[in-house]
Structure 1
Amino acid sequence: MRPRKRRSKNKLVAQVEAARAERSVEVWAMDEHRVGLKPILRRTWARRGERPQVAVRPRYEWLYVYAFVCPETGESEFWLAPSVNSAMFCEITAAFLRSREQAVLLVLDQAGWHMSAETLALEADGVLAFEHLPPYSPELMPAERLWELTDERLANRVFERLADLEAVLGETCVSLTDQPARIQSRTLYHWWPGGADHTSTE
């Protein structure tokens, strides 16, 4: 595939501002995250002098979180899916777009399924445009900061079935969509459109 020329972030912000003068445009970021029956281990509290213990029972069944976030407003949308590939990405992104009234500029990393011909075809109707981040730069992706929140209730736990994990994860994602201020404080980088007008509180 012929590589696409990337625009600098300053030019991206200028492009969005120019587009907003003619049409309402939202700038979202999107990423995927894998969770499963292999336990997520985090630090835990223990009494002084006692070694903390966490049960583990690793199995290799997976579930994927597809997360869309608008850092400027803190709005978010989560989808749970059994796999990650071009077809699944296109299906979920198309469903996400149907819920938006404004045009969307979607910031993505350069995962293969984000660069496929099927994916790039989503731009054809002008409702959606993609901006791909430089390779190997997860620190630039606002959606990366959502995973600490989605994993909160999964960490240091053993789930008997993937369906049990999915139920807990689904409840967590629904709860997060009702916390825009918390999402905004984690994802609105200073260089993001609108970021200079806000100060992180978390």
Structure 2
Amino acid sequence: MRLSLNKDNYEAVNLYFQDEARFGMMTHLGKYLTASGVKPIVNYQHVFKTTYLYGSYSPINGDSFVWEINGVSTGIFEQYLKAFSLYHPKEYKIVVIDNAGFHSTRNIEVPDNILLLRIPPYTPELNPCEQVWQYIKNRFKNQRFETMESLRDWIDKMVNEMTCQTIKSITGNHHYLNAFNATFNN
């Protein structure tokens, strides 16, 4: 696919992978390193309060745009895209999305500086954003949060501690990088 862009409107083009992830107050148990024969002790709670992260991550330069919001819907997705379009407004964003039902673009307005590309259905392995969520959730295991505010603080800290280099190392895939460079660096 060839894109024709009016170069006067945009200073840069970037590739992002977008996805959502749910985080909640229920303790997710994971492996623990202990002495042989010693059973690990984890404070566990069974609470069904959750929040969601909407995230877009670039394997090109490690840039990211993350929103924490309570829920998933077409309306929220549209709001996210509008906010994302204002982040580096002179950047043309090619955003790869999955086929979640609320990603329907029939009745939403997609900003001019965003192009949405869908991956085939049932192929999460094609979306490097899934690895970002795994990176965060690996650090989320065995955590216990007393309040939603403490959970949100932890998420905020995790997201803000991820450097561009970390994001590039997680999302970087030579197939995507080569295709992007062949298309936009000629």
Q: Which TM-score band (shorter chain)?
A: 0.7 to 0.9
User: Counterpart in 1 of 2:98?
Assistant: 109
Aligned counterparts of 1:118 and 1:71: Cα–Cα separation in 2 = 29
Contact 2:15 2:180 in 1 (8 A): no
Question: Residue deviations 1:94-147, cap 9 Å, x none?
Answer: 11110122111110000011124234x215xx3211100000000000111111
Structure 1 residue 19: Cα displacement: 4.9
Aligned counterparts of 1:43 and 1:19: Cα–Cα separation in 2 = 49
User: Counterpart in 2 of 1:72?
Assistant: 60
Does 2:153 align with 1:164? Answer: no
User: Counterpart in 2 of 1:86?
Assistant: 74
TM-score (norm 2): 0.86
User: Counterpart in 2 of 1:37?
Assistant: 25
Structure 1 residue 44: Cα displacement: 1.0
User: Counterpart in 2 of 1:149?
Assistant: 135
TM-score (norm 1): 0.79
Matched residue count: 178
Aligned counterparts of 1:195 and 1:186: Cα–Cα separation in 2 = 18
User: Counterpart in 1 of 2:168?
Assistant: 184
Aligned counterparts of 2:172 and 2:179: Cα–Cα separation in 1 = 6
Structure 1 residue 51: Cα displacement: 1.7
What SS does structure 1 have at the residue aligned with 2:176? coil
Question: Residue deviations 1:168-192, cap 9 Å, x none?
Answer: 111111111xx11111111011210
What SS does structure 1 have at the residue aligned with 2:56? strand
Residues 20 and 33 of structure 1, relative CA distance in 2, 3 Å threshold: farther
The structure with more helix, counted as a fraction of residues? 1
Residues 20 and 142 of structure 1, relative CA distance in 2, 3 Å threshold: farther
Residue segments in structure 1 that go unaligned for 5+ positions in a row: 1-10, 198-202
What SS does structure 2 have at the residue aligned with 1:172? helix
User: Counterpart in 2 of 1:5?
Assistant: none
Aligned counterparts of 2:56 and 2:164: Cα–Cα separation in 1 = 13
What SS does structure 2 have at the residue aligned with 1:181? helix
What SS does structure 1 have at the residue aligned with 2:159? helix
Residue segments in structure 2 that go unaligned for 5+ positions in a row: 182-186
What SS does structure 2 have at the residue aligned with 1:31? strand
